[in-house]
Amino acid sequence: MSESAEPRVVEFAIGGMTCAACSTRLEKVLNRQPGMQANVNLAAERARIRLSGAADEAAVIAAVGKAGFRAELVDAGTREREKAEKQRAYKQEIVRFWIAVALSLPLAGQMLFMFGEHGHSNELPRWLQLVLATPVQFWIGWRFYDGAYKALRGGGANMDVLVALGTSMAWGFSTVVTLFGLPQHVYFEGGAVVITLVLLGKLLEVRAKARTSEAIEALIRLQPKTARVERDGQWLEMPVDALMPGDVFLVRPGESVPVDGEVIDGESSLDEAMLTGESMPVSKRAGDRVFAATANGQGALRCRAVGVGEHTLLAGIIRMVGEAQGSKAPVQRLADKISGIFVPAVCAVAFVTFFGWWFYAGDFAEALVNAVAVLVIACPCALGLATPTAIMVGTGQGARAGILVKNAEALERAERIGVLALDKTGTLTQGRPVVTDIVVRGIERDQALAWAGALEHNSEHPLARAVIEAAAAVHLPKTVNFKATPGCGVEGEIDARPLRLGAPAWIGCAEDAQVAALQQTGKTVIVLAEGETVLALFGIADALRPTSRQAVERLRSQGIRVVMLTGDNAQTAAAIAAEAGVDEFRAGILPGDKAAAIAELKRDGVLVAMVGDGINDAPALAAADVSFAIGAGSDAAIEAADLTLIRNDLLGVVDAIDLSRATLRKIRQNLFSAFIYNTLGIPLAALGWLSPMVAGAAMAMSSVSVVSNSLLLKRWRPNAKR
């Protein structure tokens, strides 16, 4: 099988879309192509397409072109090229708009004098009106004819069809009246002013839409262009793109970290606010991780590159934010369905309005004006922009606060969370347990530490790391016949002695009085034994995160039921739950059983979310309706999660839910205003209560108001900063 048969997701920049009908039609066209599954975003002007079978990028570009649009494969330079092209086009549109204003103003101005004492005697000569209106209609307004032709050629209809049809009717009728000297009023001002107002609306819309992507643009600007790299004992200034994993680089005071790395030597504090949303600097020393674009403080750091290019945390954030901004929330499906049939339905309403008024009033001109007003006011732009603009701003604000949203659907579901399941270790707690108590029986303390450390030497479990850190000062003997039992413990032979280290229940001493005493203080106990003989007890505590109790209180105040899941015994779990303010917990849950616990919680019919940080949390995260991964957790957990919290703080979950509610609130406001606008506007125009000029102004401002309302999400701040 060829490489092209492997399913893959590609992203294209789309040009030529003007309204929701365009994006809906293009999505349908692409989804009809074999091997293509497309999602088209009007606000982002992007199409994310899953290709399979023989489908390739060339086939996508051809299909998009046939539908009347332009497609360009997104690469590293696409964003800069797009930005330059949009700025050039914007400047051209500004010039064209002011020319349209200059030509339309005399036509609109005469309307004011027509209400005066001399009425129609103040009207401009009709030949002059024709001269002024024609360039606006066919030069300034050519974009609408071009867009309408491409849409109709592709088998659909869009906003351009409505504007071109409506203004052409007004201009054509007025031209016939002027050329043949008929005793009728002319409506040159109607078509010219409508085109001018629509252009104004488009300019304001483009300007406002540009602000919706400011967050991702700000992230891109953060990464330095050059780095000081060590080569043969000398420091050379090199482009960041030239760095490879393993290269040693220097970060001087006040500079930004060029790529992800690990500190080799030096001490300093880094401002990681752009990643975590936290303003407090984070101290760094040998062995600590540093991330691209974070700002160094007063000290110098010598680091080894770990992640470069597309493999830095910053690149991952930019990629995830871009994917989320290009995704489609379920709430938009209704808007898409309506947009797909909207333009043909409006044309039908305009047709009925025209003939209805002609037969009712017997006035062809009045019937024409009312039909034009229906066509002009019915543009579905606001409907198409309602959801994606809010998603773009919301996910951008989330990224600034250290909340990465995988897709819009997850953001929508987060609003309806009824139950939140929490992993204990690394989520409620610091995730760095330490040995606090060692109780030995018949052996020396150092001997107990040496044997326990040797048994745990190859384990990555947090409790194992605590034992290894406690045994750092003693010599570790060799272990043979090592075996690990998930959720229970480890065993092996040391100096020909069969030793086990694990949970008291596994060892067989769960009823031991000293074990119970340690557990009652909220400590996890692991037991070192030879056969059935207990040699030592290790009491291990994992301190609660400072903000965990506050986060739990906030979640409960929002009506969310909080459940803690832990592999600890019931006594230890109860102590931690009480300290965190959690009323409900499931204790003694093995890693493989967490997904089953999520399934059990879902049986109540409520939306269940899961927060975790480890590899063993990945199945439970995948099973939950909404999943959150703590950023310091494993790649598997982050991959399985819907939302990733860069900072290690449970308050991030509260902020993510709050962001979801704020974003969905804006989406509903936008959809309501868009639906109400068209629901009220079309009947008013059909009844003859709106002139084409008023309809054009209202249509232009409806799109601007939707985008502006979405931009109000920029006021959103994390709870911790309010």
* Rounded alpha-carbon distances, angstroms, from residue 289 to 267, 282, 293, 296, 424: 12, 11, 13, 13, 24
Determine the Cα angle at 577 with ends 574 and 583, to 5°: 95
User: Measuring CA to CA, which residue among 466, 378, 253 is closest to residue 690?
Assistant: 378
User: Measuring CA to CA, which residue among 141, 1, 40, 58 is closest to residue 49?
Assistant: 40
User: Measuring CA to CA, which residue among 297, 403, 417, 457 is closest to residue 629?
Assistant: 403
Backbone angles phi, psi at 36, to 5 degrees: -125, 135
Q: What is the DSSP string of 157-188?
A: --HHHHHHHHHHHHHHHHHHHHHHT-SS---H
**If you count them, how many residues does the chain have?**
722
User: What one-character DSSP code corresponds to residue 474?
Assistant: S
Backbone angles phi, psi at 473, to 5 degrees: -90, 0
Structural element, H or E, at residue 436: strand 434-440
423 is catalytic: yes
* Rounded alpha-carbon distances, angstroms, from residue 210 to 204, 206, 678: 10, 6, 25
User: Measuring CA to CA, which residue among 160, 676, 693, 696 is closest to residue 377?
Assistant: 696
The contacts of residue 234 (CB under 8 Å, 6+ apart) are none
Beta bridge pairs of residue 30:
none
- Tokens for 624? 């939950």
Angle, helix 651-686 to helix 364-377, in steps of 10 degrees: 170
What distance separates the 2 farthest-apart alpha carbons in the chain? Answer: 118
Q: Are 640 and 629 in contact (CB under 8 A)?
A: yes
Considering 260, 336, 423, 642, which one is annotated as catalytic? 423
* Rounded alpha-carbon distances, angstroms, from residue 602 to 92, 129, 388, 452, 556: 56, 69, 30, 40, 18
Measured torsion, CA atoms of residues 125, 128, 132, 134, in degrees rounded to the nearest 10: 100
Q: What amino acid is encoded at 110 in this protein?
A: Q
Distance CA 474, CA 463 (A): 18
Catalytic sites, residue numbers:
423
